[in-house]
Amino acid sequence: MTDEEQRVLESEQRLEEAVEHAEFAISVRGLRNRFGDQIVHEDLDLDVRKGEILGVVGGSGTGKSVLMRSIIGLQIPDAGEVHVFGEPMIGRLDDEEALAVRKRWGVLFQGGALFSTLTVAENVEVPLREYYPNINATLRDEIAAYKIRMTGLPCEAGPKYPSELSGGMKKRAGLARALALDPDLLFLDEPTAGLDPIGAAAFDAQTRELQQTLGLTVFLITHDLDTLFSICDRVAVLADRKVIAVGTIAELLATDHPWIQEYFNGPRGRAAVSAQKAHSGQAQGGAGLAERQ
Amino acid sequence: MQSAELQQEQGDDGTIVRLAGNLAVAHLGSLPDRLDALRGPVATVDLSGVTHIDTIGAWTVHRFALAHNASLRGVSDEARRLIDEVGKECEPVAIRPEAEYPLIRVLSEIGVATRTAGHTMVGLLGFFGGTLVTAWTLIRHPRRVRMHAIVQRLEVVGVSALAIIGLMSFLIGIVIAQQGSVQLRQFGLEVMTINLVGRLTFRELGVLMTAIMVAGRSGSAFAAQLGTMKLTEEIDAMRTIGVSPMEALVMPRVIAAVVMMPLLGFYASIVAIIGGGFLCAVALDIPPVTFVQRIREVVPITDVYVGMIKAPVFGLIIAICGCYQGMQVESNAEEVGNRTTAAVVQAIFLVIVLDAFFAVFFTWVGWI
């Protein structure tokens, strides 16, 4: 083993311990982002607990995507600190230890962001090839194959090119690529936008199942109230350039911020609440029935 | 957290393989290869020493156990969950499309390219016909001509291009004069450089170079603009409102290119002659007055006609190629790029082919 490999392995081991011991998966402090005269974030704080699905909501232009890009290092903020598993991330895009952190997360962009010259399966193999070139080709193909199955894609999707896929399949393929390295942390940017309700519900269920199987922490930007109600453990609300509230939906409903009230108590919000109640009522009813039998 | 380890021992019911340590992808190392190399039969795989495992480790264990038909022992809940997840029954997933034989691939590519070329030629001809029909409609209903759009295109195609075309032509004039004078000096005919510059720029190079520049600047822009509008369904929206895209988008561009090409071509020829004159004055000691006088003597007016007849035709070809390719965009952003390239390549190719025909034709009619 060369010195460099040894160093990489050591930093990975250190990070694994950090992942184990860190209290928060992501911790953002005093974040400030500005585009020209427009201030998007000012003094923004946010903590994402390990193993939770955190939904991030906010009106258009409140900087949900900018927040995600700041955390994953695509946007360098004007001020503030971002820690992922306790590691500071700002300004360390090419750092070796920051690289170890990057292996621990997967990102699903809005349109899937698949590489158009590669097939779906080859897309999934890209992170494996990049970080673990020693894995032999057969094993790599097999890994890509089960990641594809795991995200609910049909088997014939493997050798297809992204341009031959529907929107929903592109997102699943993007998810398979994000999960290629078994990350601890998954970023999803509006995963159900543009999907039909059945596809969206299936994607939500898949996300929940994967999160439980793999023990993921999920940072989920969404506009979809059904997603918020059905799979998010906590919800963070972005407004007035900061995170104005974080909590379960019940906690959020108890606050009296006008935007939150309008968001959750508007016609769509109420519909989602009643759908959720009906759903859980049915589940309880079903359980009760089973007990009686 | 130590790396993955492998031990082999003989048990009561056959070989036992013990895996221990961290079976996450970062720590697997050569374990998959060592497992592959291991000769069976293996009865049991013992995982009781495993501290950590991820899906890649789980898959490695699963495929090994499956290959040897071995049973698993000492599996933690975490490992059990992952192994069950990766081991779900499913049809095999192909990674790449099936490869073809090279010979068949080459043949099929030649066939496809020939067909595409044929289709494009027919399509271009059809589009040209469509443009003529639209032009005829506009002539009969002059109120439907969109002056605003036309003026806007005239500015983009013509006025904005003055600087770059001027600079290019000036340099071309200098290069012709310089290269020509070097050759003509061998015969003591340096003064003939003026004939060379004057006749070449007006007859051929002024218009041809302008056409190439306009194809690169505006032909590509036409294809990219219309292609993007196709993608965002702007053109479909236009049709549903009852606006004909041929009238609103294609005609202004065609008219702008047809009107602007002769003007730009003439301008380019003049600037190229100024460039040639500049070099003659600096390097050959021919005073500008003499230069202008000579030009008037040696360049027949038919040379100017030749250039000015060719220019609008070239403009038409450039606009038609650009608009046609733009309107052909169907599916995705990648196609816009390909179509834009195709528009420029076709326009320049057709311009040069037609230029050759013009050269023969004008010689035939006696405009030598």
A122 has a pLDDT exceeding 50: yes
> Which residue in B319, B306, B321, B304 sits closest to B355, CA to CA?
B306
Cβ contact (<8 Å) for A142 and B63? Answer: yes
Of B63, B91, B331, the CB nearest to A155: B91
Residue A131 domain flag: no
What is the per-residue pLDDT for A1? Answer: 56
pLDDT band per the 50, 70, 90 thresholds, residue B2: low
For position A289, what pLDDT does the model report?
43
Q: Which stretches does DSSP call E strand in chain A?
A: 24-35, 38-49, 53-58, 79-84, 87-88, 105-108, 185-189, 217-221, 234-239, 242-247
Domains (range + CATH), chain B: 5-86 (3.30.750.24), 123-364 (no CATH)
Q: What distance in Å separates residue A164's CA from the closest CA in chain B?
A: 10
Q: What band does A280 get if pLDDT is binned at 50, 70 and 90?
A: low
**Residue A41 resides in a domain:** yes
Q: B4 and chain A: CB distance < 8 Å anywhere?
A: no
The CATH number covering residue A68 comes to 3.40.50.300
Task: Give the gap in angstroms from C-alpha A177 to the nearest C-alpha of chain B.
Answer: 14
**Lowest-confidence segment of A166-180, B242-256, B307-321 by average pLDDT:** A166-180
Mean pLDDT, residues A67-86 taken together:
86
238-257 of B, contacting A, C-beta below 8 A: none
Is there a contact between B96 and A119 if contact means CB atoms under 8 Å apart?
Answer: yes
A111 chain-B contacts, CB cut-off 8 A: none
Give the residues across from A84 on adjacent strands.
A26, A87
| pLDDT > 80? residue A281 | no
Q: Which two tokens stand for residue B84?
A: 């069950």
pLDDT over 80 (residue B289): yes
Whether residue A206 is contained in a domain is answered as: yes
pLDDT over threshold 80, residue A90: no
- Asked whether the predicted pLDDT for residue A259 surpasses 90, the reply is no
Question: Does A53 score more than 50 pLDDT?
Answer: yes
Give per-residue pLDDT as tens, B97-137: 888 889 999 999 999 999 999 999 999 999 999 999 999 99
Residue A283 within any structural domain of the chain: yes
Contact B157, B260 (CB under 8 A): yes
Collapsing DSSP to helix, strand or coil, B97 comes out as: coil
> What's the pLDDT band for A92 if we cut at 50, 70, 90?
low
CB pairs under 8 A between A and B: 88
Q: Locate B30 and state its tokens.
A: 């050569």
Q: How far apart are CA A270 and CA A250, in angstroms?
A: 13
Q: Which residue of A139, A156, A216 to mutate against B (max B Cβ within 10 Å)?
A: A139
Residue range B139-166, pLDDT digits in tens = 999 998 889 999 999 999 999 999 999 9
* Spatial separation of the C-alpha atoms in residues A18 and B368, rounded to whole Å: 85
ipTM higher than threshold 0.85: no
Average pLDDT over residues B199-227: 95
Confidence at residue A23, expressed as pLDDT on a 0 to 100 scale: 78
> Residue B31's pLDDT band (boundaries 50, 70, 90)?
confident
Amino acid B90: pLDDT: 66
Give B319 to chain A, closest Cα distance, Å: 29
Q: Are A177 and A130 in contact (CB under 8 A)?
A: no
Tens-place pLDDT, residues A211-239: 888 888 999 998 888 888 888 889 998 88
Q: Is the pLDDT of residue B297 over 60?
A: yes
* Domain range for A205: 3-104+183-292
Residue B257 has pLDDT above 90, yes or no: yes
Percentage of the residues of chain B whose pLDDT score is greater than 90:
64
In this structure, which long-range contacts are made by residues B325-331, counting pairs with CB atoms below 8 Å and at least 24 apart in sequence?
B325/B223, B325/B227, B326/B222, B326/B223, B326/B224, B326/B225, B326/B226, B326/B227, B326/B229, B326/B230, B327/B127, B327/B226, B327/B230, B327/B235, B327/B245, B327/B250, B328/B123, B329/B226, B329/B227, B329/B228, B329/B230, B329/B231, B330/B230, B331/A163
Quote the CA–CA distance of A189 and A177 in Å, as a whole number: 14
Report yes or no on A151 lying in a domain.
Answer: no
A9 domain-assigned: yes
Domains contained in chain A, number = 1
pLDDT at A219: 92
Give the pLDDT confidence score for residue A137 in this predicted structure. Answer: 85
Stated as kind and residue range, the H or E segment containing A267 is: helix A267-292
* Rounded average pLDDT over B321-327: 96
Query: Predicted confidence band at B89 (pLDDT cuts at 50, 70, 90)?
Result: low
- Cβ partners under 8 Å of residue B135, min gap 6: B251, B254
**Residue A133, in any domain of the structure:** no
Backbone torsion region of residue B29, taken as left when φ is above 0, otherwise alpha when ψ lies between -120 and 50, otherwise beta: left
Which has more pLDDT, A118 or B255? B255
The answer for B134, left when phi > 0, alpha when psi is -120 to 50, beta otherwise, is: alpha
Mean local confidence (pLDDT), A168-176: 88
d(CA B84, CA A199): 25
**Which pLDDT value is given to residue A60?**
82
pTM metric for this prediction: 0.73
In this structure, is residue A62 part of a structural domain? yes
pLDDT at A291 over 50: no
pLDDT value of residue B314? 97
CB spacing of A149 vs B81 below 8 angstroms: no
DSSP letter for each residue of B145-179: --HHHHHHHHHHHTGGGHHHHHHHHHHHHHHHHHH
Residue B138 has pLDDT above 90, yes or no: yes
Per-residue confidence (pLDDT) for residue A156, from 0 to 100: 84
- Binding-site residues on chain A for chain B (CB distance < 8 A): 9, 12-13, 16-17, 103, 116, 119, 121-122, 125, 132, 134-136, 139, 141-150, 155-160, 163, 181-182, 213-214
Q: What's the mean pLDDT when you consider all of chain B?
A: 90
Mean pLDDT for A24-36 is 88
Can you name the residues that pair with B9 across neighbouring β-strands? B16
- Give the residues across from A29 on adjacent strands: A81
Query: Measured between CB atoms, does B99 come within 8 Å of chain A?
Result: no
pLDDT of residue A290: 43
Share of chain A above pLDDT 70, in %: 92
pLDDT tens digits, residue range B40-76?
778 888 888 888 888 888 888 888 888 888 888 888 8
- Bridge partners of A218, per DSSP, are A53, A186
